[in-house]
Structure 1
Amino acid sequence: MGEQGAGAGPRVVIAEGDPWSRELLANLVRNVRGDARLELCADGHAALAACRAKLPDLVLADRALPGLDGLSLLRELRRGRRKPPLPFILMSERSDAASVREALPLAPSAYLVKPLNLEALSKRLGELLLAPGQEPVQVSAGLPANATLDAYLQGQRERSVGAPLLEEVRVALGRRLNAAELDLSTLQDDFARDPQITARLIAAANSAALHAGRSCQTLSQALARLGVAHSLNLVLGLALQRSAALEDEMLAQRAGQFWLLSQRSAELAALLARLCQGDAERCYSAGLLHCLGDLALLRCLQDWQLAGGELDEAQVDNALRRHAAGFGSALRTRWRLPLELRELIAATWQLGGGVYSRDVLVLHLAAQLARLPAERGVEDLLDNKAVQMLRLDVAALQRVRELVEG
């Protein structure tokens, strides 16, 4: 359980067992009331304790909460017979008439069926958290006095929300939200080039609430486990986050370079894996995610600007050199990406000691090829350990390079 936000805005308790859905709900509340004080709870007992410690202005709770379920939480809070009743939004995967009738005597402010209709939820939040005619409340955090960029980035490393989203993905998302029918292959096509979405959906699919059997290490595996509606909701939540798009031209240009490098590395890794009988889809994922730290850092630099900090090209370059690797490592660890996937991502930078799997060698070589300047020939890589161990020649390397560039 944790409280976020120290403003004078409404206090909102969010009780949701899945951490990714919990974050999505928090983002939706912040978009309506940026000054809200959020109490995030992973189970019903923690939510009840938070409400008893200090009565909130609103509760959002999943019916299937661990420990004390959401309906029982609502029942406990209604025992106080508060007038007017405490605003309470109950969310549930159960849409049958009996389940709805069971909740109605407890007078929830809304009974919303999962997967959630985020537009309807946002509208309801506005009705409950804003006065009639009041616009959504936006809050911009200023920088502490005498703050330095280096200290700011060190403090943000463990709090980073990741990379910005590709513009093409945000456009596609707008189209898909109004589509009559969607399937997993459509979402795969829309999201496959975006590192942030790929990483977050893989992380969500491996969360304790959904984890079953083997870990998900690719976007297609994550989409299959999460399903169309839940995946779309999570991506929409990412799009609603602060600085999901880079508005600063200098930062957007740098991000474009890292996106291109990520996508190029992913495509090379997939081709090399097929050539060497490796796992092409898993290698694609690792190649796509290896610049996540650079992109996340650029997003934090925009937040620095929005808070009033100054920024020039030299500072951007220095920040990337000093902090990007740490940002990437912290994100992959905090999001609990599968260890095998993290090891492949690490191989893009260097080969450690010991025995190398075929996929590790493929990732290392793909990163070298992706960074090879256009004017240099692939024969410059013949002394690379990965090339030698995979037993590739100039013709094979050149063919792979041409397929990606072509």
Structure 2
Amino acid sequence: MASLVEAVLTGLASNIHVKHAATLAAASNIWRRQGADLVLCDWNLPDGYGLDLVRIIRQTSEHTPVIIISASSDREHVKQALHLGIIDFIAKPFDMATLHQRLQTVFERINTVKPAEGAILPPLDHWLEQALSEKLQLPGELSAEQVTPLLGQADSLTPSDLATRWKNETALITRLLQLANNISLKRSGNAISRPVEAISILGVEMSLNCAMAMALNIARGLTHPRLKEQAVLYQAHAEQVAAIARAMAISINLDSASCHAAGLLCRCGELALLRTLQDYIDQGGHPDENEIENILKQWGPRYGNRLKIQWQLPIPLRELIGAVHVVPSHATRKALLVMHLASLRVASRLRGPEAERLLRRAGLDQHKWLNAPDA
């Protein structure tokens, strides 16, 4: 639930930075160390109550807006919260559209979505370096119209239904994998790499809520023409690699779902970098358009590696993604060869003795893949 709230918050504007604390102690430390422009807090915390945090905040700030989230919305709870000067009380369970609307109203009131007047942006290299130390985001094109009809079908939809429907939604798939791995690693210590497994762990309802939160994220779209053009190219490349890798994997009885997911994620670093460049432009920055291609080559791999860690992707899936870009010369896993061969196929470079050698090592039909029309 905290991850969904965070997704809604970061979708309100490009310059919002969210700190998530799981306990009263952690939240108190963040407040004392750096403060906040807005505080959202659950009523019940593992080591205390949300109102305890509000009391700590009110010791040093009378006006910082605080929103309490609680499963109990009875008169006494609301009265206690209002007595401490909160500005809103959100009862659980809530839907993402309602939460988005309530938070948007609050942000307009406290005026935190506007950049500070006279603010001086750092050089672009410093901006990109700083972004690497924060939570990276991907641009997303998922619309509310794609998700809303599914909300009423939650009881009849299966994880397999959603995995099939969303198979090319890169940003959503990565978000679901991240959330599911947060749960799976704590429960069993095992990481997952298949979208259908992620949806099974989260449940259909939570997965739909996550999709709705992303659909309401108005800050994720790319508006700069050059960045938008690059994003379309990267997304198309990733989808083609994913489709061909899946077909190759199926033909030799490998895990096609993991190969497909790895293909979708093979350009995640560049996509996150484009989103960061858009944020820079939104804040008044003016990157040299002639340098954008060099920036993508220089910073894309670093952003990709950062995302693999941020999303807690399992090592085997990270290796599959890496194999798209670098030939696995000493690899014994056929799936790694499949990923690289799919990349060569999309780039129309699947020809010659080296390609034949890799196809043989992978156990793929040379005649079929060498003579197929270029993708």
Of the three residues 387, 390, 400, the one matched with 2:359 is 387
What is the deviation of 1:241?
4.5
State the distance in 1 between where 2:270 and 2:120 align: 25
Structure 1: gaps spanning 5 or more residues: 1-15
8 A contact 1:78–1:106 mirrored in 2: no
Of the three residues 102, 120, 124, the one matched with 2:98 is 120
SS at match of 1:164: coil
What is the deviation of 1:289?
0.4
Of the three residues 129, 132, 137, the one matched with 1:162 is 137
Distance 1:191 1:314, change over 3 A: same
What is the identity, as a one-letter code, of the residue corresponding to 1:176? Answer: V
8 A contact 1:379–1:394 mirrored in 2: no
Match of 1:219 in 2: 195
What is the deviation of 1:221?
1.4
Of the three residues 97, 100, 115, the one matched with 1:140 is 115
Count of matched residue pairs: 362
Match of 2:168 in 1: 193
Q: 1:206 and 2:176 equivalent? A: no
What is the identity, as a one-letter code, of the residue corresponding to 1:27? Answer: T
Of the three residues 300, 304, 312, the one matched with 1:328 is 304
8 A contact 1:143–1:309 mirrored in 2: no
Instruction: State the identity %.
Output: 25
State the distance in 2 between where 1:398 and 1:157 align: 40
Distance 1:129 1:156, change over 3 A: closer
Match of 2:85 in 1: none
8 A contact 1:266–1:287 mirrored in 2: yes
Q: 1:42 and 2:34 equivalent? A: no
SS at match of 1:310: coil
What is the identity, as a one-letter code, of the residue corresponding to 1:364? Answer: H
Structure 2: gaps spanning 5 or more residues: 83-87
Match of 1:174 in 2: 145
Distance 1:112 1:256, change over 3 A: same
State the distance in 2 between where 1:233 and 1:358 align: 36
8 A contact 2:269–2:304 mirrored in 1: yes
8 A contact 2:222–2:278 mirrored in 1: yes
SS at match of 1:41: coil
State the distance in 2 between where 1:56 and 1:350 align: 43
Normalising by structure 1, what TM-score? 0.74
Of the three residues 253, 265, 271, the one matched with 2:229 is 253
Match of 2:340 in 1: 364
State the distance in 2 between where 1:321 and 1:37 align: 26
What is the identity, as a one-letter code, of the residue corresponding to 1:200? Answer: R
What is the identity, as a one-letter code, of the residue corresponding to 1:321? Answer: K
What is the deviation of 1:64?
5.6
What is the deviation of 1:22?
5.4
What is the deviation of 1:396?
2.5
Distance 1:111 1:360, change over 3 A: same
State the distance in 2 between where 1:103 and 1:269 align: 54
State the distance in 1 between where 2:247 and 2:187 align: 30
State the distance in 2 between where 1:349 and 1:55 align: 42
Match of 2:10 in 1: 27
Normalising by structure 2, what TM-score? 0.79
What is the deviation of 1:237?
3.5
State the distance in 2 between where 1:300 and 1:191 align: 24
SS at match of 2:352: helix
Q: 1:308 and 2:279 equivalent? A: no
| RMSD, matched Cα | 3.9
What is the identity, as a one-letter code, of the residue corresponding to 1:267? Answer: A
What is the identity, as a one-letter code, of the residue corresponding to 1:43? Answer: T
Greater relative CO, 1 or 2 (CA 8 Å, sep 6+): 2
Match of 1:89 in 2: 68
8 A contact 1:381–1:387 mirrored in 2: no
8 A contact 1:349–1:367 mirrored in 2: yes
State the distance in 2 between where 1:195 and 1:309 align: 27
Distance 1:356 1:107, change over 3 A: same
8 A contact 1:296–1:327 mirrored in 2: yes
SS at match of 1:341: helix
State the distance in 2 between where 1:100 and 1:323 align: 51
Q: 1:61 and 2:44 equivalent? A: no
